[in-house]
Amino acid sequence: MWSHHSHSGQYCQHAQDSLEDIKGITIDDLERQFTAYFVHAHGIKSRYKNKIEIFVGFEIDYIRPESLDFIKLTIKKFRPDFIVGSIHHVEGIPIDFNQELWTRAREKAGGSEEILYAHYFDDQFSMLQELRPAVVGHFDLIRLFAPNSKIDFQQWPVVWEKIIRNISFISDYGGLVEINSSSLRKDWDEPYPRRDIAQLIISCQGRFTLSDDSHSIAQVGLNYHKVRDYVQSLGISELYCLNTDADGELEKKRVFLSELWWANDFWTETKIKSMSVSDPAR
């Protein structure tokens, strides 16, 4: 089993620690912390190389156009195994932190949900074009604090066309779209992306991977049994995971679900089927 999207409180500011502590952190502090993360992570990767395959990368966030230049410099400096490409802001405002900020982003975008969603998917497209991330994070995160998280994007043809454009681009360059279980611990009944988006990805011959987006040990593999049911209900027969080939190069390995679900000891673990948490960390 695998996840391509995990966080630890040791290096991720939004996984733990108080707002008061975070306010005192400077850009230099963050850069030192990021460097320490890479050194530590590569040490763990080397130490456990005979037991588990570990990839050292990071999740990026497009906040404004200038973000892309900084991200490219960071990639050049640290040479990650891969990146998760995500959007957490619209108009510079977080859209997955709480309802108040989501509403503020909507107002700054022009006051309507349609415009907010259009801006979100345009920012996502800019990020995809510039970075072509191996893994695309929580594709429809913009719905998390929407008044109706099951909103039908197809009611806005312009928005829906942007979604089709983005998914087609991901499919063309070979990116993997997360089926991300973190929404299930936030009171959703489906993982990201919701069924309408997932079905569109399938129709565009897109490829999926699995991620738990864990922010603590208790969230590792959490709700994967529900993800399994969701994947089966979509009629998906295969998933993809990152792997290294014989030359040590990164590749995207196809995994047939008949092998994954029934031939892997992970799915016999009782805790995977019964765990629940009420962790405020997103």
Render pLDDT for 5-61 as a digit per residue (tens, 0 to 9). Answer: 565 555 454 444 443 454 666 778 878 888 888 888 899 889 988 888 889 999 998
Burial (CB count within 10 angstroms: exposed 0-12, middle 13-18, buried 19+), residue 267: middle
Residue range 19-274 in CATH 3.20.20.140:
yes
Tell me how many degrees the CA angle 176-57-141 measures, rounded to the nearest 5: 50
% pLDDT > 70, the chain? 84
**184-191: long-range contacts (C-beta < 8 A, 24 or more apart)?**
184/222, 184/223, 184/226, 184/227, 185/219, 185/222, 185/223, 185/276, 185/277, 185/279, 186/144, 186/282, 188/144, 188/149, 190/230, 191/223, 191/226, 191/227, 191/230
User: In whole angstroms, what is the distance from residue 213 CA to residue 180 CA?
Assistant: 7
**Please, how many CA atoms are within 13 Å of residue 146, restricted to the half-sphere of its CB?**
18
Could you tell me where the beta strands, DSSP code E, fall in 29-175?
58-61, 83-86, 89-90, 93-94, 135-136
How much is the pLDDT for 18? 43
Domain boundaries, the chain: 19-274
- pLDDT at residue 251 is higher than 80: yes
- pLDDT at residue 77 is higher than 90: yes
> Could you report the per-residue pLDDT of 135-161, keeping only the tens digit for each?
999 999 999 999 999 999 999 999 999
Tokens found for residue 158: 């312009």
